[in-house]
Chain A
């Protein structure tokens, strides 16, 4: 199913629509309040965004050296650093690790890369039970491995009633409807998994080159659980996540958390370096990093290099009018919203995601909230250009664009054209302020009216003003 069909289905789903409406104000308000509080504390959020952008650019410009530095320091603390070209190789490496350590059950804290790689399916196929432990991801897993619809709030599309039904069915317990009680029930189910798992798998918010560590940000504490209790800890993360120092980590945390959940800090931030030391009472005995490329290196130093700065906060989707209307599932892959509309065609092939670069109004809400100043509308526009260059757009559209360009470069013809267009649109509006059905593009007015042009064209007004 293509984007358009999926978007139509999401628009027609009253449940999804009502859940999206409930969520949309919350993220936006919380971020705004957190930034206001930071300003009141004497912080300068714009200066922070600028510094965040500069820092991420600096790392990407010497990514090879920073990765090598990270590898040296992580290895010095006893961790094993493995490299995977794509998701399939990452899965193979992790299944091998699990087999080597006789792992039967692996608890997982949230990792978008493991979604990219399809890691849960690979573990299951190898007879290893993966257990998602982020509450949202857990809900999706027990609902027949439903994909997430948001990178930090994976079940934003679901109501508590749907989740209550699911819990009653899967947990085989009386149906609860209080969110606090439902959370406690999930806590108890997951607690037994935490304590019995042989391996913990986490993503990585950042890799710190200076210390060879992974930094994890969670609110629930599941990130701490999966990296404290099991005897093996595997970090699966992208090669672009490396940063130089702990001070840089502090800078990026100030940006990431406010942009993501609107908190000044998440409940838990953990910096994990190496394994359980002699005499330590807890901690894993083995630590592995699986650094995954999966298309990232191709973006380096390309016109899409800016996208590699992304720190996966979700602010772009929270503020996107398209995402707010259709939700994450319509985007069809792991990453939704504006960042997904850029990443999906780049990682999955442009020809496999033709609609996504067009699923944007280019209003630049995403650009102004991005904590590392990724010019998302520019990248979407560049993708659109590439589609035309590669002849991936329909012939009719390409011809229409050519015709438009031909007219637009001939001022007299253009003036005449717009004059007639205005008259035509006014005729369609029948003297009213809006047009119910747009003749040439009826799809445009399927869900809304088209505003009728008001008064004269810009060129007419300009010509008149020049005369007077």
Chain B
């Protein structure tokens, strides 16, 4: 194994003409690039991030609801479930288990999802206005399966979590976690495939429906 490593890297160095003289400047240039983290050309910043995020989420076939504050989320979720004739029962990331779900008539279990869960409720770390994308980070209270296995994924998005683009989201992740969480999942609407005759079908392996509830206040 190590043989192959040395052979491959040796071959690369030989092709690139690596020498003791040029390794130091190249290292410095690398360190500069890693520290600078400069962004490439980007589209225009949206004046109203919430409106832009909402419009682009809907363009991705997600549905969006808005509530005044986090405490209003369970009732909005209950209404969505009733409207879609879904059971008032869901698996929920432990992170959001503290909301008054019972008061809204929704029975939640705070755990990772299993195959038969129909509805999964998650929060999100950031949401991206440029593309209408949710950014979920895994951790003890935020398992990845909840946004993946159930047929319906409901995501709670605090309006303050909506940022311009992925670059702002990366900076936030660096400062909040220090190092990247095991999985950062960017979710942009329901799972889909176009493999058969390039016809888009929703619900390939992940959720058929993604419903976003934006909470404006705490």
Contact of B30 among A69, A134, A158 (CB under 8 A): A69
* Complex-state Cα separation, A229 to B191, whole angstroms: 17
The answer to whether A333 has its CB under 8 Å from any CB of chain B is: no
Residues of A within 8 A of B60 (CB): 267
Across the two chains, which residue of chain A brings its CB closest to B61?
A: A267
**B interface residue count range (under 10 / 10 to 19 / 20 to 34 / 35 or more):** 35 or more
The answer to whether A274 has its CB under 8 Å from any CB of chain B is: yes
**Are A247 and B37 interface neighbours, CB within 8 A?**
yes
**A67-B12 contact given A245-B34, A281-B140, A282-B145, CB 8 Å threshold:** yes
Residues of A within 8 A of B41 (CB): 43-44, 47-48, 51, 251
Contact with A along B153-190 (1 / 0, CB 8 A): 00000000000011100100000000111111111111
Q: Count contacts on A: residues with CB < 8 A to the other chain.
A: 106
Interface residue ranges, A against B (CB under 8 Å)? 19, 22-23, 26-27, 38, 41-44, 47-48, 51-52, 55, 58, 61-69, 77, 82-85, 89, 93, 133-136, 139, 153-156, 158-160, 163, 179-180, 182-184, 187, 190-191, 194-195, 209-211, 213, 219-222, 224-225, 227-229, 239, 244-251, 253-254, 261, 264-277, 279-283, 291, 293, 297-298, 300-302
Residues of B within 8 A of A61 (CB): 16
* Complex-state Cα separation, A64 to B167, whole angstroms: 27
The answer to whether B86 has its CB under 8 Å from any CB of chain A is: no
* Complex-state Cα separation, A195 to B182, whole angstroms: 20
Task: For the complex formed, measure the closest distance between the CB of B19 and the CB atoms of chain A, giving whole angstroms.
Answer: 12
The answer to whether B48 has its CB under 8 Å from any CB of chain A is: no
Given contacts A48-B41, A83-B8, A227-B183, 7 further A-B contacts (CB under 8 A): A43-B42, A44-B41, A48-B40, A135-B204, A245-B34, A261-B194, A264-B130
* Complex-state Cα separation, A276 to B144, whole angstroms: 11
Task: For the complex formed, measure the closest distance between the CB of B120 and the CB atoms of chain A, giving whole angstroms.
Answer: 12
* Complex-state Cα separation, A407 to B192, whole angstroms: 59
**Are B138 and A283 interface neighbours, CB within 8 A?**
yes
* Complex-state Cα separation, A87 to B138, whole angstroms: 33
**Are B34 and A83 interface neighbours, CB within 8 A?**
no
**Are B185 and A270 interface neighbours, CB within 8 A?**
yes
Task: For the complex formed, measure the closest distance between the CB of B54 and the CB atoms of chain A, giving whole angstroms.
Answer: 15
**Are A191 and B205 interface neighbours, CB within 8 A?**
yes
